[in-house]
Structure 1
Amino acid sequence: MADFWDNEELLGKFVKNSREEIHIKRVSKNGREYVDIRTFWYDSKSDEFRPSQKGLAIPLEFVGELKTILDSIE
């Protein structure tokens, strides 16, 4: 998605299964900042992970609310 975002910084990732990873990135587009949480799939032809359409970009101003919701999970 490097072609889509103006800027992106990988914050972390974890393995979903043998062919997929979840990437968490801080990204920006047209002066707005987001946290992008997206599934990446392994492309054996290029030997790299590529972004899928499965994911969401959360505006940075809502990350505090997201953290509160996640903290409530027991």
Structure 2
Amino acid sequence: MNDTSPQALQQDRIVADIAAMLQIEAAELDLDALLSEQGLDSLRMITLIESWRAAGADIDFHRMMALPTAREWIAELNA
């Protein structure tokens, strides 16, 4: 049984989804580097956010776009 809240996403999923969007291995994603410098453009961000919304996460699009690193995304999505 999965006890994960629909509002929260697990760190492993967030990292895996971002890495997949960047076509890299999850271990290669630098959580503290700017996502934009790692190749995540606004279209890819929108795609990720929409997929997480479809999975039930309550995400403020503008707030997420203002956060520059994966570590900040993880914190926001698990707040």
TM-score, normalization: structure 2?
0.21
TM-score, normalization: structure 1?
0.22
Larger Rg: 1
Which structure has the highest strand share of the two? 1
Which structure has the highest helix share of the two? 2
Which structure carries more relative contact order (alpha carbon 8 Å, separation 6+)?
A: 2
